[in-house]
Amino acid sequence: MLFSAFTINTTESTCSSTTMSCSSSTLILPSVVTKNGFRRFSSKQQLDKSRVFMTSISVGSRAAASAVVDDALFADYKPTNAFLFPGQGAQAVGMGVEAQKVPAAAELYKRANEIMGFDLLDICINGPKEKLDSTVLSQPAIYVTSLAAVEMLRAREGGQLIIDSVDVTCGLSLGEYTALAFAGAFSFEDGLKLVKLRGEAMQDAADAAKSAMVSIIGLDSDKVQQLCDAANEEVDEANKVQIANFLCPGNYAVSGGVKGIEAVEAKAKSFKARMTVRLAVAGAFHTSFMNPAVSRLETALGATEIRTPRIPVISNVDAQPHADPDTIKKILASQVTSPVQWETTIKTLLTKGLKKSYELGPGKVIAGIVKRMDRGAEIENIGA
């Protein structure tokens, strides 16, 4: 991904979900903050519409509930405070330095080093940039740094109260995994293993075919689709293009074969685009070019314990929250070949009455997107 001073672009995300229903019951979850994890539901908080009894487990824990879950559990969520997590492209050499001042945040890097098999923190702090920017390293690095930012917030005065107030979360492509970890859907370690494999699988898929991505600045989504249609008339099937990231009004990323991307760039001005920016990424993320990565993700997700999130986590694929672990697995596998519905996600949160959001992790990309959609929106950056 590439970001200019006045644009917000990302390079990382429909699948059918199966709704599973069962009898209604009341969900009562105790309020607990574990040693290395995140808050469970507030004390004695009841969700009358819940169809499942479970105990929400924080990051770092392996315990889980086994029950049938109604995937629509969070369908009528009403957001007030949100945690938003960045995706690939937010990385920068030097991230993680501040996190070393907070023991709980620093501990996450130590745990990550054991899983990665090398010193991830050293690459975050010292680079080189070319190494950190690679898909296989930037994704784990951002995941760890974003969760370290949560621990940095927790350590500051009033930080735990802020964390306790968060009632919805989401992340941009890769950031969806971070959001799920924060929401207790899987452990920190399991999330990192998934993100590591995801980066490797996406890199391998990109290496298998010549593809690219480009950001189109200054057009609405309908015009960008028309631009893609015009470009596709001039290339063969292997070079077709599509919108891969619906980021915010006037900023959409297109993915596809190199010849198709070149056709988009050549025609952009005739469609009145302000500019195009070729993205420095491995390949055409969030398109069928990533199909080779899907089976590897399905296998890894199938072997991973995923629980119902303790708060709604909005999917990049359909901009909806999901509660059923099996549905979450299917969506995460399809996410790498599906367009990112970030514009709809943020618009929905704002329309539903979101009062404040926090961007946790490196960069300020998400804050820029939110402000572009609503200049009056209140958002705070928590770096690491």
Q: What is the pLDDT of residues 173-223, one digit of tens each?
A: 999 999 999 999 999 999 999 999 999 999 999 999 999 999 999 999 999
* CA quadruple 203, 205, 211, 216: dihedral sign: negative
User: What does DSSP assign to residue 341?
Assistant: -
Q: Which of 13, 17, 61, 173 is catalytic?
A: 173
Active site residue 322: no
3-state percent breakdown (helix, strand, coil) of the chain, nearest 5: 40, 15, 45
Q: Backbone phi, then psi, for 259, in 5-degree steps?
A: -65, -35
3-state secondary structure 181-245: HHCCCCCHHHHHHHHHHHHHHHHHHHHCCCEEEEEEECCCHHHHHHHHHHHHCCCCHHHCEEEEE
Give the pairing type, strands 241-248 and 251-257.
antiparallel
Q: Give the up-direction half-sphere exposure of residue 331: CA atoms within 13 A in the CB hemisphere.
A: 28
Helix (H) or strand (E) holding 356: strand 356-360
pLDDT number for residue 68: 80
| From the candidate CATH numbers 3.40.366.10, 3.30.565.10, 3.40.190.10, 3.40.50.2300, the one assigned to the domain spanning 71-207+287-382 | 3.40.366.10
Q: Which residues pair with 85 in a beta bridge?
A: 171
In order along its 384 residues, the chain shows pLDDT tens digits of: 433 333 334 444 333 333 333 333 333 233 344 433 443 333 333 233 333 222 233 343 333 444 688 999 999 999 999 999 999 999 999 999 999 999 999 999 999 999 999 999 999 999 999 999 999 999 999 999 999 999 999 999 999 999 999 999 999 999 999 999 999 999 999 999 999 999 999 999 999 999 999 999 999 999 999 999 999 999 999 999 999 999 999 999 999 999 999 999 999 999 999 999 999 888 999 999 999 999 999 999 999 999 999 999 999 999 999 999 999 999 999 999 999 999 999 999 999 999 999 999 999 999 999 999 999 999 999 999
Residue 62 zone, left/alpha/beta (φ > 0; ψ -120 to 50; rest): alpha
Do 109 and 122 meet the contact criterion of CB atoms below 8 Å apart?
no
Domain ranges of the chain: 71-207+287-382, 210-279
The pLDDT value recorded for residue 36 is 39
pLDDT at res. 45: 37
CATH fold match for the domains 71-207+287-382 and 210-279: no
Rounded Cα distance between 278 and 216, Å, is 9
pTM over the 0.75 mark: yes
Tell me whether residue 25 is one of the annotated catalytic residues. Answer: no
Contact 28, 351 (CB under 8 A): no
- What length does the chain have? 384
Q: What is the pLDDT of residue 21?
A: 33
Separation between Cα atoms, residue 12 and residue 173, nearest integer Å: 5
- Superfamily for the 210-279 domain: Malonyl-CoA ACP transacylase, ACP-binding (3.30.70.250)
Q: Using CA atoms, how far apart are residues 113 and 232, in angstroms rounded to an integer?
A: 44
- Dihedral over Cα of 284, 287, 290, 296: its sign: positive
Q: Which residues face 171 on adjacent strands? A: 85
Structure letter (DSSP) for residue 290: G
DSSP secondary structure of 163-181: HHH--EEEESTTHHHHHHH
Q: Say if residues 332 and 176 touch (Cβ distance below 8 Å).
A: yes
Q: Looking at residue 67, what is its pLDDT? A: 63
- pLDDT tens string 19-40: 333 333 333 233 344 433 443 3
Task: Determine the pLDDT at residue 362.
Answer: 96
Give pLDDT, residue 64: 41
Q: Which of 13, 211, 286, 338 is catalytic?
A: 286
CB 246 within 8 A of CB 252: yes
